[in-house]
Amino acid sequence: MNRISAEEFYRESQGGTIIDVRSPKEFAAGHVPGATNVPLFSDEERAIIGTLYVNSGRNVAMEKGLEFVGPKMAGFVRTTNQILAEGSSEVTDSSEPGSDFTAYVHCWRGGMRSQSFAWLLDMAGIKVRVLEGGYKAFRRMAQRQIGRRHRMVVLSGLTGAGKTNFLELLREAGEQIVDLEGLANHRGSSFGAIGLGQQPTTEQFENRLFAAVQALDPKRRFWVEDEGSRLGRVVVPSRFVKQIRRSSAVFLDVAKEKRLDILLEEYGDLDHEELIDATRGIQKRLGGQNMIDAIKAIEAGDLRTAAEISLTYYDRSYLKGMSELPRASTLNLSTDGMCDADVVAKLIDAADEIENAAEPASVVSD
C-alpha cells in the first residue's frame, strides 16, 4: 500500500480505477471525476459514528465502525475486483483482476477510512495506492490549477450567436476548448436549464473544470465562451471568471434575424410552460408589459416574437457588460454571408492575430 500526492494520484489514475470510500452524501456533493463510490459507511452509519465520537470518545466510535464494517468486508473485495475488471479490457474470465490492476483509493482526509479499506484490499492481493491527504488534498490541487494563469481566447457574442456550436466546430478543427456550459449542464441564460436535467453542484463543476483544463496541452491556447460568474445554480470560480473578463476576445457579430433562427432551432421544441416560467423569471429586467407580450406570444405558438422581445433585454445587458470589462482586446468578426467552416477559419485567424500582437499576460490577482 503506497501513499501518493494528489498530483501523482490524479496523473496515475487516469484511465484507471478510482475508489471513493466516503459516504454517498459526501460523494454526491463532489468527487474526483471518474471515481466510483464504494462507501465504507452509509450516510446513517457515518452520522452515528460521528455522534459517538463527540459524545463517547474515539474508542467507542471505532468499535461501532468495526461493527458496521465487519459484515461488509468480503463484499468490498468482490465489488473492487468487479470494478477493476469492468475498467480493463485486458481482464479475462480466468484472470484475477486484483493481481494485475491498481485500485486508487481515497476518503476525505486520507485517514482511517481509506487506510482501513486499502489494508483490506492489500490483504486480498489487490494492488492499491492511497491519496495522501484525501479528497481534501485533491480539492486544494484542483482549485490551485483552475486559478493559475491560462492561455485562453474568449469567444464572445450576443445571445443566439451560436457560440456553443462554434466552440464544438473549433474543437473539430483541432483547437482546444473548455465548454463551461457543457460542464455546468446549463445554456447560460434564464432559459438555460430547460430540458437539460439536473446540474452538478458547484463543487463538482469545479472538479469537472479542473479535469477539462488538466487534459489540455498548456503550451497551446484554448477557447472558452464568454460567461459570467453563474451558470444557473453553478458558481464559476472567481479567478477563472477574472481571466475570462481580462483575456482577449473575438466577438461574433451575427445578424439579429440569424440569431432568432438559431434560438428557434435550439429552444423551439421545448415545453411552452417551462418557457413561460423562465420568461416570468426575468420580469424585472424585461419589464412588465414586455413579459406579458412575450408570454402571450409563447401561448400563441409565436416563439419568434417571444424570442425577439427577450433579445431586447439580453442584447442591452450583454453590451453594457462588455463595455465595463477590463478586456485586453476584442476583435469583431462579422459572419454575414459566411458558412460555418469559413467562420471557424476566420476565428482561428483572429486568435492567431491576437496572440501575435499580445504582450505577456499579467497574473490574475485575488
Domains of the chain, by residue range, sit at 2-142, 148-357
Q: Give yes or no: 107 in active site.
A: yes
52, 107, 309, 364: which is the annotated catalytic residue? 107
CA distances for 200 relative to 31, 70, 74, angstroms: 11, 33, 33
pLDDT of residue 324: 86
- Per-residue confidence (pLDDT) for residue 93, from 0 to 100: 44
Task: Output the pLDDT for position 314.
Answer: 86
What is the C-alpha separation between 353 and 247, in angstroms, rounded?
Answer: 14
DSSP annotation of 43 reads H
pTM over 0.75: yes
Could you give the count of Cα atoms lying within 13 Å of 98 in the half-sphere of its Cβ? 16
Q: Do domains 2-142 and 148-357 have the same CATH topology?
A: no
* Tally of CA atoms within 13 A in the half-sphere of 297 that contains its CB: 18
Give 250's strand partners. Answer: 155, 331
**Dihedral angle at the C-alpha atoms of 188, 191, 192, 193, nearest 10 degrees?**
140
Distance from C-alpha of 41 to C-alpha of 48, rounded to nearest angstrom: 10
Q: What is the pLDDT along the chain (366 residues), one digit of tens a residue?
A: 689 999 999 999 998 999 999 999 999 999 999 999 999 999 999 999 999 999 999 999 999 999 999 999 999 999 999 999 987 543 334 345 444 589 999 999 999 999 999 999 999 999 999 999 999 999 999 999 999 999 999 999 999 999 999 999 999 999 999 999 999 999 888 888 888 889 999 999 999 999 999 999 999 999 999 999 999 999 999 999 999 999 999 999 999 999 999 999 988 888 899 999 989 988 888 888 999 999 999 999 999 999 999 998 888 888 888 888 888 889 999 999 999 999 999 999 999 999 998 754 444 444
CATH topology for the 148-357 domain: Rossmann fold (3.40.50)
Which CATH superfamily includes the segment(s) 2-142? Rhodanese-like domain (3.40.250.10)
